[in-house]
Structure formats: C-alpha cells, structure tokens
Structure 1
Amino acid sequence: MSSPIEDCLEYALNARASELIIVEGLSPAVRLNDKVCMIQDAPVIPFGSLDSFVKSLDGESGVLCGGPWCGANWRVRYSREAFGKLASFRPMMPECPHFSELGVPDVMMNLLGVSSGLVLFAGPPCSGKTTTASSYVAAMCQNRILRGVFLDSVEEFNIPTGDSLVIKSKSKDITKELKQGLLAGTDLFWLGDIDDEHIIPALRAAEAGAIVVGCFNAGNSVGALDAMVCFESSKEMKIAKSLLASNLKALVIQHLIPSVDNSQMVSAWELIYNNQNISNLIRNGEHFKLPPIVAASTTEGMVSMDHSLLALLQAGVISKKDALKYAFDPSKIG
C-alpha cells in the first residue's frame, strides 16, 4: 500500500508539475505553470510523515537526492518550521539537455569562451536556472579539455564531461575544496547552489583565475547582486563588493513563463556581461541603476529581461499579462 506522499508524487508526475510541496499538517500542493495549486481531495499530511518517508532529513534544513519513488529520482529541499516540516520535491532528469537545445539567445553561446571568473545563473525557484547552468558546465567540459571539480551538494543531472578530467566531491567543506582545487590547478569549479557562506571563497577562486559556475535564487538581476553582497559585517560586504566587481564575468537571469495556451513553459532571459560601468555600480552598491545600462548595451551582447519578454509577446508566445508580470519596466512592454 502506497503512502500519502507517494500518491502525491505520482500525481505530480502525471500532472507534469515542476514541484510537489508538502507541509505537515496541511494539504499538499503542486507547482503547475508557475502557479501553486492545492491537490484536490488530497488528505492532510500527518506530522512525522516526511521523516518516515524520506528517512534522512537531518538538521534544521538541507537538500538531498531521494528515490527512486514512482520510477523517478527527486531533489528534496526541506526545512523545519514552527508548525512542522516542509519539503519540496522536484523530479530529476536523467541527463541535462544540450546547452544549444535550451532556446538560449544566440549571444549566450559566447559564454562558452569564458576562461576565468564567476558565471552566475539566477532566477526564482523552478525557473530552470539549474538545468541551464548544468548544461553550460557540460558544454564547457565537452568543448575543451578542462580540469574540473564538481562541488554541487546534490547531483541533479548526469553531466557529460567529454575528455575533461573531473572530480566529483561530496565534501561539505566547500571552502577547503576550493583552496585545494586551486593548488591542484583546477580550471573549472561547478558549485550548484551557492550558499551565503561560500560566496567570498567562490569569488576568491574566480580571482585566482578559475572558472566558477553557480546558481542563486533571485527574482531579477538587481536582487541577485544585492544578495551576493548582503553580509552583516561591513568588512565582509566591502570584500564581497570588491571581489564581485572585479571577477563577475556574466550574470544570467531566467524565468519560466506559461505559453498563451498553457501547453508549455517558455524561457525569458537576461544576460549581463561585466564591464567598467557595471563593475562601478557593483563596487558602489548601486545595483538599482543596472537595468537601463543593460537595455542600452545590446551592442556588447547584453540582453535585458524586458527585451526578451517583448520579443516573446510580439511572437504571440506569451500573454501581455504575463509579460507585464515579469517586466522590470512595464512601460517597455507597451
């Protein structure tokens, strides 16, 4: 007899939901076309169910690979709340798609020529950023022969690495692994989700000449940069601003937006390459000035989110309502 959580996982797969959300003491929900919907007629999830089902929810919060359940592996992100435990389950693909198959703007292919610095992929939860970042790392490893270290805490995809020499480390001491990797001449570090405590060590690795690729949860480019330098200590904030201003190579923002007929999710992109103007904004903490500079820098290969949304709207792919919802400056949508 299947458990209530297993029934919910089966429902999520059949509904092609991007995420199943379980909160003990409440009814389960799924994320469909960027909307969180309660599962109709599903029972309330009893307290203790998540521990009983997953069996490895250690600490106050964390992320792990679970399964196979219902024929699939799942990324489980959990936290212990005042009312009980909360967990989100996302089905994992067996292998990441090819970078060129993701519908990225043509100018994003230039990222494959990066030889050092931080390449950051950001977006809200379930925006596709981890898929895109993983595909980018795979393309880098297949296009060249690199010495790489993969430090992602949960291996969401089987990332093809071609002839590159890659070590997959499961050490929780990311700072130590970065230092040791640099001493060993590592060309590429793949971090997966970047935790706050690893921002400065990751930036130092980029400063030392390595390619550092990671993901960050943020709604837009301004929020991503704000979060990267948000430290309680003014000393650490100053260090982070200086390192980010000097070593950020590119920032990619991704949103998944429902198509007009709700048959699929389509990607809208923002691509920012660091230059002197943007570096100065980061160093001075003036991230709010970023969008107009990006919009005026198309000749430098940059793509603004508003431009991407407008192109999708004019092509009849997304609705005006959704374009306005994700726009930084709604007046640009018309």
Structure 2
Amino acid sequence: MLKLASADELLNICYERDASDIHIVPNEPPTLRLHGRLVRLEEFGELSPADTERLFREVAPPRAIHELERVRTADFAYAHPKARFRVAAYYEKGSIAINFRLIPYRLRSFEEIGLPDHIKRLLHLPRGLILVTGPTGSGKTTTLATMLDYINTHRETHIVTIEDPIEYYHEPKKSVVSQREVGVDVPSFEEGVVRALRMDPDVILVGEMRDLKTIQAAITAAETGHLVFSTVHTTGAARTVERIVDVFPTDQQEQIRVQLSTNLVAVISQLLLPRADRPGRVAAFEIMIVTPAIGHMIRDRKIHSIESAIQTGQQLGMISLDNHLLFLYQHKIISREEMYRVAQNPEEIAARLGEQLPETALARQII
C-alpha cells in the first residue's frame, strides 16, 4: 500500500494518465475518470475523512475554505505545475469530498477538438450570440477556449471573460484579454456582463447562462454590438432555444423569441464519446447556424422545425448530431454501440445503414 504524500502527487497521476477528473471521497480510494470510465487507485487504499480534509486544505485558497464552512460547497481553480484544475469541494456524510477537473495549460486547435474550420468565419462577426451546449463534462469549456484563442490570435479586439472559476488562461496576442472570476473580481455573472459593457469590449464570454438575469444581460450585450459567447446545459439546438425561452415568464416569452431570432448566431451542441480507434474521447457535434428561415422558426414558435432545417442546411455549415455520429462510426472512430446509444433518431440511422435496429437501441426507445 502506497502512502499518499500530497494533493500534487495525486494530481500528477491524473495528468500523467490523461484522466479528465479525480474524485476524492472519504472511505474510498482516489478514483480517476479515465476516458469516461472510473478507475480506482487501489494502491493508495481508502482515504479517511482526515485525509480528504488535508488534501482540500493543501489546495484551497482562504476564501474557498470560508465558503465551504459557510455553505458546505466551494468552487475554485488550482494551479498545478503541469495543469490547472477546476475544483469542486463539498460535504458528504459530514466529511469533505473533492472533485478535480483537469484543465490543460495548452490551448487546443480546431483540428485537435474536431471543430469544423467553417466555424472560424463566425468568429470574425462584429456582434451576435454564439452558444456552446452539452451535458456536464462534454468539453464545452475547451471548445469556448479554442474559439477565444482563435480570436485572440487573428483579431485586434478587447476580450472580456466572466468565469466561475477561470479555467484556461489567455495570454494577450493580437487582442487585449481581461479575465474576471465570479466571487473574486465580480459578484455574479449578471453583474459581470453589465460591468463588462463599460470596459469597451468587443467580445464577451459569459461562462454559463444560469438564470434569467444573466441570459437577458448576455442577449442585451449581443444586441448592443458585441460578440457574446456562453454555455447552456442542454443537448441540441432546439432544446436550447426552448430552455432559454422557458426561463422567462409567459408575458416576456414573445419578446425573448424576437431577441433570439435576431441576435442568436449559432448553437454548437456537443457530446464526448469514447474512441474505438485508440484510447481517448472524441466530440460529436450538432451545429445550427441561424439563417433567416431558422430566425422565423424561433420567432413563430416553430421550434419543432429546427431539426429538419439543420438536416437540410449542410451547405450552409450545419450538421445534425446523427449525421456526425454516422460519420464518426463509418470512419471507425466510435463504435456501433456508442453511435446508437446517443443517436437522436436511431431508426433512421439503421435504415441508412440497411440494418436492423440493435436490441439495445430498441430497449432505449421502450424506456
């Protein structure tokens, strides 16, 4: 049994094994999230509550210690020599537990994350709202960082980010970059957007559109001549539009539809799937570019028609999730099982492949 020396030792293992996360929970061994699967580091044995508290105090700034004591949860970033980590500390069964999410120091290219090159033209727009959506752990932050790095490299702009916490650091290149952390530099996402408008910004990143006021502030920023990026925890463009509209009271929903129809530029939805060709994960994308026709669908409550518009909008740079899944499968990048597991219309994929729908996909439909 190995003796656990420090938090940095564990985080080094996380980095060296290319894990996305490490979970520290009392009475369990440290556990990696490796290419989507959990791998226990049994060689360290079970961690005691005293162990987990010591590991937390090794990495936590004073404000996070106070926050954990006050509200029983704390989010912050930690700079390890080899990578940054987003840290979520919390109490469970009266003891401290921690999740570390690895954030590489090196920003990734479009090619590395699989984002199509034609998205780059959207990054030269002077104004509008671009959303990156997907479940937790789907790579939204990495995609946003890649797009901001492209702007930083190719445009002379002032980029203002509001993040909780700051994950990727952007060194100024062609652009000036101001990165503000919620709880440290600004009290909230909403307040961060409002204050950013007084800073002569060209580009604004809102780490997450969590509530009505933040959503309204982000849309207003796009409306007043800024290129705004943000994330939403949804899967698919149509669901994203519905989620945003549903946040607002009924008497405000028509107005928000009009604002979205004229200010939303694109929705990039993504999932991370285990690769079949080599260790690691790959992103599957759905990309909706808001054309005048899609703008009318949003304004006229015809959200159900968006999926068809994406299917027929390939020449405009759109791609449906199922088409991208089929591409990844046919190029042997993901397995048949993964393709069917996350497909929106598995029967259509089976028909295109000229095969029977697998039993696992049938079971999913029944459920």
- What TM bracket, shorter-length normalisation? 0.7 to 0.9
* SS class of match (2:196): helix
Decide whether aligned partners of structure 1 residues 280 and 60 sit closer, same or farther in structure 2, where only a CA change above 3 A counts. Answer: farther
State the shift of 1:286 in Å: 5.1
Q: Which amino acid aligns with 2:200?
A: G
How many angstroms apart in 2 are the aligned matches of 1:87 and 1:218?
25
Decide whether aligned partners of structure 1 residues 42 and 233 sit closer, same or farther in structure 2, where only a CA change above 3 A counts. Answer: farther
Counterpart check, 1:150 vs 2:161: yes
Decide whether aligned partners of structure 1 residues 201 and 316 sit closer, same or farther in structure 2, where only a CA change above 3 A counts. Answer: same
Q: Which amino acid aligns with 1:33?
A: H
Number of residue pairs aligned between Structure 1 and Structure 2:
333
Decide whether aligned partners of structure 1 residues 312 and 141 sit closer, same or farther in structure 2, where only a CA change above 3 A counts. Answer: same
Question: TM-score w.r.t. structure 2 length?
Answer: 0.79
How many angstroms apart in 1 are the aligned matches of 2:89 and 2:253?
28
Q: Which amino acid aligns with 2:102?
A: P
Counterpart check, 1:210 vs 2:226: yes
More helix by share: 2
- 1:70-97: CA deviations, max 9, x gaps? x543111344557655532112211312
Q: Which amino acid aligns with 1:200?
A: Q
How many angstroms apart in 1 are the aligned matches of 2:254 and 2:171?
38
How many angstroms apart in 1 are the aligned matches of 2:137 and 2:335?
20
How many angstroms apart in 2 are the aligned matches of 1:124 and 1:218?
6
Instruction: Report what 1:110 is aligned to.
Output: 121
Counterpart check, 1:94 vs 2:105: yes
State the shift of 1:208 in Å: 1.1
Decide whether aligned partners of structure 1 residues 207 and 52 sit closer, same or farther in structure 2, where only a CA change above 3 A counts. Answer: same
Structure 1: gaps (5+ residues): none
Decide whether aligned partners of structure 1 residues 231 and 12 sit closer, same or farther in structure 2, where only a CA change above 3 A counts. Answer: same
Structure 2: gaps (5+ residues): 351-367
Instruction: Report what 1:64 is aligned to.
Output: 76
Counterpart check, 1:258 vs 2:274: yes
* SS class of match (1:193): coil
* SS class of match (1:127): coil
State the shift of 1:117 in Å: 1.0
Q: Which amino acid aligns with 1:139?
A: Y
Q: Which amino acid aligns with 1:32?
A: L
How many angstroms apart in 1 are the aligned matches of 2:331 and 2:222?
39
How many angstroms apart in 2 are the aligned matches of 1:257 and 1:329?
17
Q: Percent identity?
A: 23
State the shift of 1:187 in Å: 1.1
- 1:96-122: CA deviations, max 9, x gaps? 123354332233232223221111111
Q: Which amino acid aligns with 2:309?
A: I
- 1:12-36: CA deviations, max 9, x gaps? 3343211112344555433222234
Higher-Rg member (1/2): 2
Question: TM-score w.r.t. structure 1 length?
Answer: 0.86
Q: How does 1:299-310 map to 2 (within 5 A)?
A: 299-310=315-326
Equivalent pair of 1:124/1:255 in contact (CA under 8 Å)? yes
State the shift of 1:228 in Å: 2.7
Q: Which amino acid aligns with 1:64?
A: F
Equivalent pair of 2:29/2:44 in contact (CA under 8 Å)? yes
Higher relative contact order (CA 8 A, sep 6+): 1
* SS class of match (2:156): coil
Q: Which moved more, 1:141-150 or 1:34-43?
A: 34-43
Instruction: Report what 1:18 is aligned to.
Output: 20
Q: How does 1:121-136 map to 2 (within 5 A)?
A: 121-136=132-147
Equivalent pair of 1:310/1:323 in contact (CA under 8 Å)? yes
State the shift of 1:238 in Å: 5.0
Equivalent pair of 2:110/2:117 in contact (CA under 8 Å)? no
State the shift of 1:247 in Å: 1.4
